[in-house]
Chains A and B, each alone.
Chain A
Amino acid sequence: MKAASDASMPDSTFLDSTELVLNMGPQHPSTHGVLRVILKLDGEKILGTDCVIGYLHRGVEKIAENRTWAQFNPYVDRMDYVAAVSNGLGYCLAVEKLLNIEAPPRAQVVRVILTELNRVASHLVWLGTHALDIGAITPVFYCFREREEALNIFEKYCGARLTTHAFRIGGLQYETYEGFEQDVKAFCDMFPPKVDEYEALLTGNRIWKGRLTNVGVLTADECKEYGVTGPLLRAAGVKWDLRKAQPYSGYEKYDFEIPIRQNGDTFDRYMVRMQEMRQSVRIIRQAVENIPEGPIMGKVAKVIKPPVGEAYVSIEAPKGELGYYVVSDGSTQPYRVRVRPPSFVNLQALDRMVRGALVADICAVIGTLDIVLGEVDR
């Protein structure tokens, strides 16, 4: 690795006698991957930050141009690998838009079930690691215990736990397995009391509140200014969720709420995500009750050749708006696939959130951003 060039620092390399530059990462347990943050400090106070990213850049968008439309499908799972199902859904929906087709009803319902299960699994990773960063050891074991149940369903469905490749362009990769519905229902029964358990550990906990309240505040206007979406935006009081605003995959048929909070601080984002897990279970319950019979694949040619054109399709991923801008030149390969990653865009607001805060707060703020570096760097 190269030494940090001066370009990444403020103009003057000479610091005041009270100032200090601290390098955090890329190998640091609370940066959730290979994020490097260069902090300029005055004692304990953060004067400014510079994020160095790209350590996990694999050139996903370039790979897309060298694969066929269907071949690229598994690659998207490797971006946000804790929410692989959402990535796959977004990509499939984008290509389906280009082809102007829709997945059959059965496929849509199973897609919703798996995507919501994945949202729960993703939020559990967030909660466990976030709590660990703050110094609470127990929640991570609880969270991973329940996440295991969700991953088991994925494993039984498609053989993979993390990079699932659950969907195909036009429908599902596999028919559901014998006992799928029972497993999903069992999860729905098991899970809500566990959320109560996490909340009993954390919500009223004095240390937890002390470390999170009024830390990393991002107001609604700042969120819009920085393009920040997902739970961060909702914790700032904006009732906006793409599942409601621009429903896809039949989300308009389910009865659920968008949890919001008003302060836009780290504690509110915690509360929003806890509520979202409950709402996800609510959606899954409704979906699993009536999975329609029928085919799992729409009419899609073996060789996918979308007509010349372009489309932008986005979904509400666990981390925010995940968009795919796809351009077809009429051939069997994507001409361009652009991924609009929520983690990348949200991470940009880090500087605004931690300026003036204390060094210890940056761990809380990185945790609450819920970034996955695989998606930031792609």
Chain B
Amino acid sequence: MADEQKPGGEAAGEPAKPSPPKPAAAAPKPPATMAATPWENDLARELKERFGDRIGETSTYLGQNFIVAKPEAAVPILEYLKLEADFDYLVDITAVDWPKRPERFDLVYIVYSFPRNERVRIKTRISDGYKPETAVGVHLTANWLEREVFDMFGIEFAGHPDMRRILMPEDWQGYPLRKDYSIIQQDQRWVQENLGIESGQ
């Protein structure tokens, strides 16, 4: 096996970097945060007006706009965008795990508007165990997408009609895309349980 696995599947072998991607603090040489700039147009203003402090920031990075919002505001924002601003297509729901942060997960919604030909990302930060509201009531696509997020990260969606694993077997242990989920451990356990021998990995 030519690939060098890092213990515990941690993000990077080097000493931990401050991972939170946002606040544009004055950083040393290579900025350790995302160099996002404020996103200001009618839509961003409308959203801020409407949702007030439930929207933390509206920014743009590499020409892509995103909103950072409070977790409980995500579904109302999706609904608002769908009904009032023609964002009628939910492209994707996914998550990113930042285990060193108290609010461990970034939950990311990507929406697209056919009439505007524009994409927006809505990001919320949630802690482990927090159950965000399901978006199935707004976009039917959310059904499988949320099931996948649950399957891979263990984020349970409140009110989801069918919250069970989708890609992994029902009796699977752990959530594979969490950073502390090691693929080596996983392999060793499987070999021990199913073959009754020690894994050579």
| Residues on the A chain within 8 Å of B35, using CB | 307-309
Contacts A310-B21, A310-B61, A325-B110; A225 near B117 (Cβ below 8 A) = no
Q: In the complex, which residues 87-112 of chain B have their Cβ closer than 8 Å to any Cβ of chain A?
A: 88-92, 94, 96-97, 108, 110
Closest residue of chain A to B108 (Cβ to Cβ) is A325
- Which of A65, A97, A225 is within 8 Å of B139, CB to CB? A225
Is B92 in contact with A310, judged by CB distance below 8 angstroms? no
Say yes or no for B43: interface residue by CB 8 A criterion. Answer: no
- Which of B91, B171, B183 is within 8 Å of A314, CB to CB? B91
Say yes or no for A330: interface residue by CB 8 A criterion. Answer: yes
The segment from B4-12, B126-134, B193-201 found at the interface with A is B4-12
Q: In the complex, which residues 315-335 of chain A have their Cβ closer than 8 Å to any Cβ of chain B?
A: 321, 323, 325, 327, 329-331, 333, 335
Is B94 in contact with A53, judged by CB distance below 8 angstroms? no
Is B11 in contact with A224, judged by CB distance below 8 angstroms? no
Is B91 in contact with A330, judged by CB distance below 8 angstroms? no
Is A325 in contact with B31, judged by CB distance below 8 angstroms? no
Is A329 in contact with B171, judged by CB distance below 8 angstroms? no
Contacts A310-B21, A330-B17, A377-B167; A325 near B92 (Cβ below 8 A) = yes
Q: How far is the CA of A2 from the CA of B110 in the complex (A)?
A: 35
| Residues on the B chain within 8 Å of A227, using CB | 89-91, 139, 141
| Residues on the B chain within 8 Å of A336, using CB | 96-97
Smallest distance from the beta carbon of B37 to chain A beta carbons, Å? 12
Is B110 in contact with A312, judged by CB distance below 8 angstroms? yes
Is B62 in contact with A59, judged by CB distance below 8 angstroms? no
- Which of A245, A308, A311, A335 is within 8 Å of B117, CB to CB? A245
Contacts A311-B62, A312-B64; A321 near B91 (Cβ below 8 A) = yes
- Which of B119, B166, B168, B179 is within 8 Å of A312, CB to CB? B119
Say yes or no for B3: interface residue by CB 8 A criterion. Answer: yes
Is B91 in contact with A308, judged by CB distance below 8 angstroms? no
The segment from A29-37, A127-135, A282-290, A338-346 found at the interface with B is A338-346
Chain A count of residues within 8 A CB distance of the other chain: 47
| Residues on the A chain within 8 Å of B117, using CB | 245-246
Q: How far is the CA of A378 from the CA of B121 in the complex (A)?
A: 23
Contacts A53-B167, A323-B92; A226 near B62 (Cβ below 8 A) = no
- Which of A7, A67, A240, A308 is within 8 Å of B170, CB to CB? A7
Say yes or no for B176: interface residue by CB 8 A criterion. Answer: yes
Say yes or no for A209: interface residue by CB 8 A criterion. Answer: no
Is A224 in contact with B62, judged by CB distance below 8 angstroms? no
Q: How far is the CA of A312 from the CA of B36 in the complex (A)?
A: 14
| Residues on the B chain within 8 Å of A53, using CB | 166-167
Say yes or no for A28: interface residue by CB 8 A criterion. Answer: no
Q: In the complex, which residues 117-174 of chain A have their Cβ closer than 8 Å to any Cβ of chain B?
A: none
Say yes or no for B34: interface residue by CB 8 A criterion. Answer: yes
| Residues on the A chain within 8 Å of B31, using CB | 307-308
Smallest distance from the beta carbon of A8 to chain B beta carbons, Å? 8
Say yes or no for B144: interface residue by CB 8 A criterion. Answer: yes
- Which of B114, B119, B181 is within 8 Å of A240, CB to CB? B114
Smallest distance from the beta carbon of A70 to chain B beta carbons, Å? 13
Residues of chain A having any CB pair with chain B under 8 Å: 2, 5, 7, 53-54, 57, 59, 61-62, 65-67, 97-98, 100, 224-227, 238, 240, 245-246, 307-312, 314, 321, 323, 325, 327, 329-331, 333, 335-336, 338, 340, 344-345, 348, 377-378
Residues of chain B having any CB pair with chain A under 8 Å: 3, 5-6, 9, 11-12, 14, 17, 19, 21, 30-36, 61-62, 64, 88-92, 94, 96-97, 108, 110, 114, 117, 119, 121, 139-141, 143-145, 148, 152, 164-171, 176-177, 179, 181, 183
List 24 A-B pairs, Cβ < 8 Å. Answer: A2-B170, A54-B168, A57-B167, A61-B152, A61-B177, A67-B3, A224-B88, A227-B139, A238-B114, A245-B117, A308-B21, A308-B32, A308-B34, A309-B34, A323-B92, A327-B96, A329-B19, A330-B17, A330-B30, A338-B92, A338-B94, A340-B94, A348-B140, A348-B141
A-B contacts besides A224-B88, A321-B91, A327-B96, 7 pairs, CB < 8 Å: A2-B171, A53-B166, A224-B114, A308-B35, A331-B17, A336-B96, A338-B108
| Cβ-closest 8 pairs across A and B | A227-B141, A54-B167, A331-B12, A309-B34, A338-B94, A340-B92, A57-B167, A348-B144
